[in-house]
Amino acid sequence: MSEPTIARKAPFKVDLEAGRTYWWCACGQSARQPFCDGSHKGSGLAPVKHVPESAGSVWLCGCKHTARQPFCDGTHKGL
């Protein structure tokens, strides 16, 4: 598996709708960060599906190295 590109060394604060399907970019190449635009094709990496149970703001990982995909776990601080 390929190593993801660091999109940015900070999380993305986004407002999500309950029940809507979101695809978090795991490769770091998407122009629609933090969401997937298909740029991962051929990279060996795949986007992560997330369907929130409730609406609200969340912090999605920007460095792509989190252990809690798609959420930020602070890993970016050590990169």
The string of pLDDT tens digits covering residues 25-57 is 999 999 999 999 999 999 999 999 999 999 999
- The confidence score (pLDDT) of residue 16 equals 98
Closest among 10, 11, 15, 12 to 57, alpha carbons compared: 15
**H/E element holding 24?**
strand 22-24
Whole-model pTM: value is 0.94
- The confidence score (pLDDT) of residue 1 equals 58
DSSP state at residue 71? B
- The confidence score (pLDDT) of residue 34 equals 98
Tokens in use for 28?
């770091």
- The confidence score (pLDDT) of residue 2 equals 84
Give the start-to-end residue ranges of the domains of the chain. Answer: 1-79
